[in-house]
Structures are given as C-alpha cells and as structure tokens.
Amino acid sequence: MAGGPAVRAYGGGGGPAGHAGRCSRGALPLLRERIVKAAAELIYEHGAQNTNNEQIRAAAGVSGSQLTRHFPTKESLVRAVLAWQADGIVARHQAPERPPTGTRWPMASSGDRNCSSAA
C-alpha cells in the first residue's frame, strides 16, 4: 500500500482540492493527541531531559515540521503532556453519575455493614 494507513488517515495521500500531504482540520486534534501520547510514553520511560524531538517524531509517526507546527518548543510539548495526564487523572476521579430515578444505589454487602473492630 502506498503511503500506509497513517498517511491516509492524516491526509497525506492526496485528495480533494489538491491538499496532498496536509491534514484536514478534523485530523489536527488527532495528530496533536498522537504526538502528546508518544511524548508521554517516551518521557515516562526516559525522562524529559533524555527525550528528544527525533525520538518523539519517530514514535508518533510525524514529520519534524508537523511536530514543530504543534509544539514549537520542547517546553510547550512537556506542558501539553502534563495537561493531558492531569485531565486523565481528573476524569478517572469524577464522582459517579446518579442512577436514573426509581433505581437504588448499590448497597454494601452484609459483610461490609458491620465494619467495627472485634473487641
């Protein structure tokens, strides 16, 4: 396959209006997220100081110009990684939604109700 799936998914295989090699507006957030996820993994493995743009570019499958377009400095990329991680933590710790009207919250098992310590 010429170009492979990443090229087709991000508009690099040509297309309408002669935009060969360019991302559609809808693909830009996906490309940015792919870069952030790749950078997060590399930074976790090697630390921020031991991770360079070439490693991130290769792991994300993007060109140097695409990386620079979204993140002109390493600091901007590290900040984006931290924000992405913080958003994930907050989302996992949100209070659960209340059940629909007419349903009950799950009750603790009978063994959990009597949690007092034995005397």
- Model confidence at 95, in pLDDT bands (50, 70, 90)? low
* Calpha distance 24→21 (Å, rounded): 10
What pLDDT, on a 0 to 100 scale, did the predictor assign at position 11? 34
Domain at 27-88: CATH code? 1.10.10.60
Write down the H helix ranges in 10-108. 27-46, 53-60, 64-70, 74-92
Helix (H, G, I), strand (E, B) or coil at 9: helix
**C-alpha separations of 48 from 42, 44, 78 in Å:** 8, 8, 8
**Residue 74 has what pLDDT?**
94
Amino acid symbol at 83: A
Predicted structure pTM score:
0.58
Encode pLDDT of 15-44 as tens digits: 333 334 455 555 668 999 999 999 999 999
Tell me the one-letter amino acid at 92: R
Q: Is the pLDDT of residue 79 over 70?
A: yes
Output the CA angle 9-10-11, nearest 5 degrees.
100
Give yes or no for residue 116 having a pLDDT over 70. no
Tokens of 51: 């991770």
Q: What is the pLDDT of residues 51-74, one digit of tens each?
A: 999 999 999 999 999 999 999 999
Q: Which long-range contacts (CB under 8 A, 24 or more apart) does 61-66 make?
A: 61/6, 61/34, 62/31, 62/34, 62/35, 66/23, 66/31, 66/35
